[in-house]
């Protein structure tokens, strides 16, 4: 899938660097996941919280790792 995405990106924007774009976008995508899980937790039954309570923090840690390593 990523090879197809890269090919299509290069076809649409010749001379671009889709690999660098993906690297730069990765921490943003992880931060977005943290937000999605937080909103999810805000809208589910309290009895379901234990199953997902750590998810936002996990995604924020991942975002920080990706930003640091990117």
Q: Is the pLDDT of residue 70 over 80?
A: no
Q: Is the pLDDT of residue 28 over 90?
A: yes
Distance CA 28, CA 48 (A): 27
Tokens of residue 38, six digits:
């937080």
Tokens of residue 58, six digits:
């996990």
Please report, for the chain, the start and end positions of each structural domain, with discontinuous segments joined by +. 17-69
Say what the pLDDT of residue 6 is: 96
Q: What is the mean pLDDT of residues 53-59?
A: 98
Summarize pLDDT for 29-53 with one digit per residue, the tens: 999 999 999 999 999 999 999 999 9
């Amino acid at each position: 899938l990523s090879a197809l995405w890269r090919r299509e990106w290069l076809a649409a924007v010749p001379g671009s660097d889709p690999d660098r774009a993906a690297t730069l976008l990765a921490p943003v995508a992880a931060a977005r996941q943290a937000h999605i899980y937080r909103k999810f937790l805000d809208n589910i039954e309290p009895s379901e919280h234990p199953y997902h309570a750590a998810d936002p923090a996990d995604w924020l840690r991942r975002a920080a790792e990706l930003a640091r390593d990117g």
